Structure 1
Amino acid sequence: MRLSTVLRGVVVVALAAVLTGCAGLPTSGPVLPGLPVGDVEADSPFTERASSPIAGAGPEVIVAGFLEASITPTDNWSIAKEFLAPEFAETWRPGAGVTIDVAGSRAYASSADSAEEIEEAETADVTVDLDQRASVDADGRYTEATGNTELAFQLARDDDGEWRITSAPDGIVLDDGSFQQVFSRYALQYYDQSWRHLVPDVRWYPRGSNVATSITQAAIEGTPSDWLQPAVHSAFPADVLLDGNSVPVSEQIASVALTDAALSLDAGTLARMRTQLEKSLVATGVSEVRFTVNGSELDADEAGLAPDGADVSTVVLTEDGFGSLVGGEVTPIAGISDALAQIEQPISAIDLAQGEGLAAVQLSTGAVYAITDGKLNELPAGAGLVRPSIDPYGYIWSAQAGAPQRLYAWTEDVTPYSIADAWPEASAVSALRVSTDGVRIAALVTIGGRQSVVTAVILRDDNNVPTGLGPTHEVVELSTPAQGVVWLGSDSLGILVEGENATLTTQIVGGPGSERTAPAGSIAFAGAKSQAGVRMLGAGGTLFAPRASAWQEFYEGVLVLGTRAGY
């Protein structure tokens, strides 16, 4: 029988009452000493505490309580295991993954047809239908996975006559509202082929667990996500493993014990290993990694990386010219602003390279020019190109909007490099942006009549000349058509829906998205290293910046909002 609305309400109220009682702060008891300043406690993040099984509860209520207990990961989901038969509790694997569903979508059905049948039965089957939103695998990788999903459970009475689950799918179930309260996002770091840039690979781990250990194990013994693998690699050799099952952290220092194979590594490899792991552990509060073998510390320096500069100024085109907007004044950019002023036709887009020695300018006709050292060179591609994006090696990227497979990267002297087999399933591309590391390209494409935001890695030869793209990775399928995409930081994308009901979605690459209202009539935007640096341009030439939950006007008379390479 299907769990009635009333019964579901009773379950929710009962669980909420217990949660309210358990989640309150203590008002009595002894004062306990805290951690020394700088220490990191593995189980410190606060999480809600689920309720234990209710005596006399029927099979559907037991299953509902078991699923609700996913909100408490403490002690490897020990509360959830209270709903299981002891023998099954020993084999159930909560860490196998996460099914993320739409809040309120669960519908329960039991093999018993009446309360009398439940009272007399010794076993029962319960199915749960839910509207799935996404999933997380055992390695912490998040994937969009929409659609109806059915979960099957078997139950039996224990020696006290209480119903307990004897069979259930491995992994846990969380609704989309609870997921980010129970799990936190971390970015594993991998090197590009030049060993000068680190590329993030987002993973999700439960709060209340030793996250430093999980990240270290993944960095040393795991592999990058499939779509990243063709263009990134780890500094850790395959024969170097973590020695032990934990990584202690004290005073922001992680002590990482390695196997004997690490003794033969050269200084350069050890430095890269240390830097890769330190950057991967930043979000856990770790500031330094120390490697040991058999108790003896290894001498590992830090490896050099390409500069990761702070947020830089907004670039705009006004009636007075093009330049950096600083303190309410537009400051010209040498070698770029004067050459751009020579263009008589309307300009629709400007992308400025890192170092400000190169710009890609698109006219309202669709033609694109490269500007460097005061000279203009037209890209030999004609009209129909999407807005150009410059990578850190000075290549200007664009594609034919109606023929996304015609993707090109041009040098500053407009020598073309054709990128074969780009987005093979796409029928159109609306926007593209190359990341600051030059390893990833994000695009707004149309596949099967639906718009999606996708990413892929850029394949390069030993001279960093682009030669192709890796597999297409769908970040999110859009329900509302969007007009543009930018990078917001190293692992998130901004997606703009223009018009009176303009919205800005911040979409994690490897995670969920969040939406906020954009200024009405927004027609363009520019990404940045942080979300605080994003800029919106209204149809009337007003420039907006985010301020808490609102947008603040801070400049007028903007003809074109430029972008900076990588954002």
Structure 2
Amino acid sequence: MRMLALLGCGVVVLAGCGSMPVTGDVKAVDASQPGDSQVQVYAVAPREGAVPSEIVDGFLESMTSDDPAFATTRKYLSADARRTWQPGGGITVLAQAPNRSGPLLHDEADRATRDKATTYTLTGEKVAAVDAQSSYRPLAPTDYAQTLNLVQEKGPDGKQEWRIDTVPDGLVLGQSDFKRLYRSVNKYYFATGRTNGRSTLVADPVYVRNRVDPVTRMDTATQTVRTLLAGPTNWLRPVVDSRFPTGTALRKGVIALPSDDQNVLKVPLNHKADKASPGACRMMAAQVLFTLGDLTSARVERVELEGGKGAQLCALDADDAPEFSADNGSDEADSQYFINDKGQVERIPGATDGTGTPEPVTGPLGAGVVPMGAVGVARDERRAAAISSHGEHLYVSSLEAEASELADPLVSSEAKKAADRLSSPSWDGRGDLWVADRDPAGPRLLRLTGGVGEAQEVRVPGLDGARIEELRMSADGVRIALLLTKDGRTTLNIGRVERRGSSVSPEISVEDLRQAAPQLTDVTAISWSGRSRLVVVGKEEGGVQQVRYVQADGSTSASGSLPGVNQVQSVAAADDELLPLMAETVGDGIVKLSPGDNWQTVLKQGTSLVYPG
């Protein structure tokens, strides 16, 4: 494809560039088509005698380029601004490329000879921000405005040229350019404490450059390892640890981490890594192996960590990685569970991929001793928790013993209405059971250690008057997804589960709630899908119901939308993302969506369909 360079556009692009209007208020244009990650944009320097509007537009376009070290981009700045501007200071993401308002083109010729300074204002709708740690945070759409001051200064040839004198650190990008230039990756850290005697890895999503980073010159894999070594993001930091010794970094000059022909990846580290014990080093290798697992099409079969002098510190094979997995489930494929029209809990065997014949579960829940309305199955599939049909009682029962009698309820709600009683229960990877009592007279979030004994109330300081409608625990046990209702709207929020105190007297709280899908004003169903992703059912303001994937940090991708299905009431996804997505609908009953397929009806009747968790 022929490359084009357009005056005032500030870039050379492989996919063309918007033309520059010659009258009226000029606006910056997106340099790429949404989702086109292969478009490469090359910056060009400002032309001699460029008017202020060209300088502003050229600078904005140059920020969307693959300009090494942003060297060409800095040519739009004054000498002082070139020295102080920090492009790595974060990213402001706008719904569209920023609009530029200021003097009109036909005024600029006179202004250039009359004035020594001028200003332009960048405006738009801010929808997200990425901080200096590469952590993404979605925002409810808000107005964005930023003033750029321009001055005249002497160029190399002695002529006066317009340049931007004050500019905020970081980049300002429209959504389409952001998605083209950056990608979401998960880096991994260990949950504080131990889960069933195991050290469990937790996903910490961040955004890295999709190709070579202009500032560090690192490829995507190397950028990702660099962020891993820098430590967890501030939001996750209170509940996870890194096994890398403080100060560990890539060896100086490392900008690429290629695998060899045996898919072995060697990671050269500085001398700080030499302090790690053999056991800690193996856990460090697990962090790298999981972090790089989704980045390349070829599977990394082995990670080898090298110390400051080049000697191998330790290695970990991919076949040994499952011991660090967070699901703590059974060794077999997860089954699906639901409640039939008689209030009995039934199971669709996991080996059938959702197409098998349902069968009652073993024990009193399958016999229907007490009709149930909701169910949650432990991740090892040995026990289940169920809510009675009118929401007043929570029972826990074995799925292995043939007992015919149901034990006494562990939690009861005193609310007068069924809709104000107990939510559906959820199990985390630690084997703990969670449920919400929605009683207006005393709403509570409750946790039962190991799914037994007396329920402990969990503090949620960020509720601010909202009511918990539903909850889902992550497999790692350090994040909780909550549907919160306030002022007639139900939103999805992710909270951090902090554990303090002793094992005998633990203090549990859900901290720092964050909206994960602020564009959805009415969310009706959620389910975790994999290590750091959720399936969400909801509507935008004035829109229709949609089913889509949302990352735990609230970001979405072009591949996040799922085929439409009518009137979804609940949704269920497995920790294994290759298993089918299931949904309960009005009219079509229980349906499933396998990868690469369309929705198919599984059962005409059934409610509260769940995977273990």
Sort the TM-score into its range (normalised by shorter chain).
0.7 to 0.9
CA contact (8 A) 2:304 2:313 kept: no
- Out of 124, 135, 140, the position equivalent to 1:141 is 135
Matched, 1:443 2:482: yes
Which piece of structure 1 moves more, 442-451 or 432-441?
Answer: 442-451
- What displacement does 1:515 show? 4.4
TM-score (norm. length: structure 2)? 0.77
- What displacement does 1:432 show? 0.5
- What displacement does 1:104 show? 5.4
The aligned counterpart of 1:406 is: 444
- What displacement does 1:254 show? 4.2
| Alpha-carbon distance in structure 2 between the residues aligned to 1:170 and 1:258 | 30
Give the secondary structure class of the aligned counterpart of 1:329.
coil
Give the secondary structure class of the aligned counterpart of 1:269.
helix
The aligned counterpart of 2:118 is: 124
Give the secondary structure class of the aligned counterpart of 1:213.
helix
The aligned counterpart of 2:107 is: 114
The aligned counterpart of 1:89 is: 82
Give the secondary structure class of the aligned counterpart of 1:64.
helix
Letter paired with 2:269:
L
Identity over the aligned pairs, expressed in percent? 20
Change (3 A) 1:197 1:333: farther
Instruction: Give per-residue Cα distances to partners, 1:254-304, cap 9 Å, x unaligned.
Output: 443334343343211111111112212223335524222212222345674
Give the secondary structure class of the aligned counterpart of 2:338.
strand
Which piece of structure 1 moves more, 172-181 or 157-166?
Answer: 157-166
The aligned counterpart of 1:35 is: none
- What displacement does 1:366 show? 0.8
CA contact (8 A) 1:257 1:292 kept: yes
- Out of 463, 468, 473, the position equivalent to 2:508 is 468
| Alpha-carbon distance in structure 2 between the residues aligned to 1:14 and 1:59 | 10
| Alpha-carbon distance in structure 1 between the residues aligned to 2:87 and 2:452 | 56
- Out of 523, 528, 534, the position equivalent to 2:574 is 528
Matched, 1:340 2:366: yes
CA contact (8 A) 1:401 1:428 kept: yes
| Alpha-carbon distance in structure 2 between the residues aligned to 1:17 and 1:236 | 41
CA contact (8 A) 1:350 1:560 kept: no
| Alpha-carbon distance in structure 2 between the residues aligned to 1:223 and 1:263 | 18
- What displacement does 1:196 show? 2.2
The aligned counterpart of 1:198 is: 201
CA contact (8 A) 1:459 1:466 kept: no
- Out of 357, 363, 375, the position equivalent to 1:350 is 375
The aligned counterpart of 1:365 is: 390
Letter paired with 1:148:
D
Give the secondary structure class of the aligned counterpart of 1:312.
coil
Matched, 1:328 2:359: no
| Alpha-carbon distance in structure 2 between the residues aligned to 1:17 and 1:258 | 37
Which piece of structure 1 moves more, 205-214 or 111-120?
Answer: 111-120
The aligned counterpart of 1:379 is: 410
- What displacement does 1:181 show? 0.9
Give the secondary structure class of the aligned counterpart of 2:334.
coil
| Alpha-carbon distance in structure 2 between the residues aligned to 1:149 and 1:100 | 10
| Alpha-carbon distance in structure 1 between the residues aligned to 2:71 and 2:478 | 42
Give the secondary structure class of the aligned counterpart of 1:63.
helix
The aligned counterpart of 1:4 is: none
- Out of 438, 452, 457, the position equivalent to 1:418 is 457
Instruction: Give per-residue Cα distances to partners, 1:63-120, cap 9 Å, x unaligned.
Output: 1221122222341334433433455334322111111001156242249992343331
Letter paired with 2:102:
A
TM-score (norm. length: structure 1)? 0.83
Letter paired with 1:316:
F
The aligned counterpart of 1:558 is: 605
Which piece of structure 1 moves more, 480-489 or 304-313?
Answer: 304-313
CA contact (8 A) 2:266 2:305 kept: yes
Matched, 1:269 2:280: yes
Tell me how large the CA RMSD over aligned residues is.
3.4
The aligned counterpart of 2:257 is: 249
- What displacement does 1:508 show? 1.2
CA contact (8 A) 1:227 1:456 kept: no
Which piece of structure 1 moves more, 531-540 or 203-212?
Answer: 531-540
The aligned counterpart of 1:213 is: 222
- What displacement does 1:229 show? 2.3
Matched, 1:493 2:534: yes
Alignment of 1:60-79 (within 5 A): 60-79=53-72
| Alpha-carbon distance in structure 2 between the residues aligned to 1:556 and 1:493 | 24
The aligned counterpart of 1:299 is: 314
Gap runs ≥5 in structure 1: 1-10, 24-44
Instruction: Give per-residue Cα distances to partners, 1:144-194, cap 9 Å, x unaligned.
Output: 234122222222344455433232111111111221111011111110121
The aligned counterpart of 2:418 is: none
Which piece of structure 1 moves more, 111-120 or 198-207?
Answer: 111-120
Letter paired with 1:61:
E
Instruction: Give per-residue Cα distances to partners, 1:8-52, cap 9 Å, x unaligned.
Output: xxx9997499535669xxxxxxxxxxxxxxxxxxxxx73431552
Which piece of structure 1 moves more, 165-174 or 80-89?
Answer: 80-89
CA contact (8 A) 1:485 1:495 kept: yes
Give the secondary structure class of the aligned counterpart of 1:431.
strand
- Out of 245, 268, 288, the position equivalent to 1:237 is 245
The aligned counterpart of 2:13 is: 19
- Out of 156, 173, 183, the position equivalent to 2:151 is 156
Change (3 A) 1:301 1:550: closer
Change (3 A) 1:517 1:57: farther
Which piece of structure 1 moves more, 121-130 or 373-382?
Answer: 373-382
| Alpha-carbon distance in structure 2 between the residues aligned to 1:533 and 1:160 | 66
Change (3 A) 1:548 1:200: closer
Which piece of structure 1 moves more, 106-115 or 527-536?
Answer: 106-115
CA contact (8 A) 2:539 2:546 kept: yes
Matched, 1:483 2:517: no
Letter paired with 1:472:
D
| Alpha-carbon distance in structure 1 between the residues aligned to 2:368 and 2:599 | 33
- Out of 292, 316, 321, the position equivalent to 2:338 is 316
- What displacement does 1:199 show? 0.5
- What displacement does 1:535 show? 1.3
CA contact (8 A) 2:589 2:603 kept: yes
| Alpha-carbon distance in structure 1 between the residues aligned to 2:595 and 2:380 | 31
Gap runs ≥5 in structure 2: 18-36, 416-420
The aligned counterpart of 1:519 is: 565
Size of the aligned set, in residue pairs, is 532
Instruction: Give per-residue Cα distances to partners, 1:459-498, cap 9 Å, x unaligned.
Output: 3466598631242231233542122221122112222138
Instruction: Give per-residue Cα distances to partners, 1:404-454, cap 9 Å, x unaligned.
Output: 861111254453122234544242111100011222111111357654322
- What displacement does 1:127 show? 1.6
CA contact (8 A) 1:76 1:94 kept: no
Instruction: Give per-residue Cα distances to partners, 1:520-546, cap 9 Å, x unaligned.
Output: 122221122328632122113522233
CA contact (8 A) 2:369 2:406 kept: no
Alignment of 1:384-395 (within 5 A): 384-395=421-432
| Alpha-carbon distance in structure 1 between the residues aligned to 2:188 and 2:504 | 20
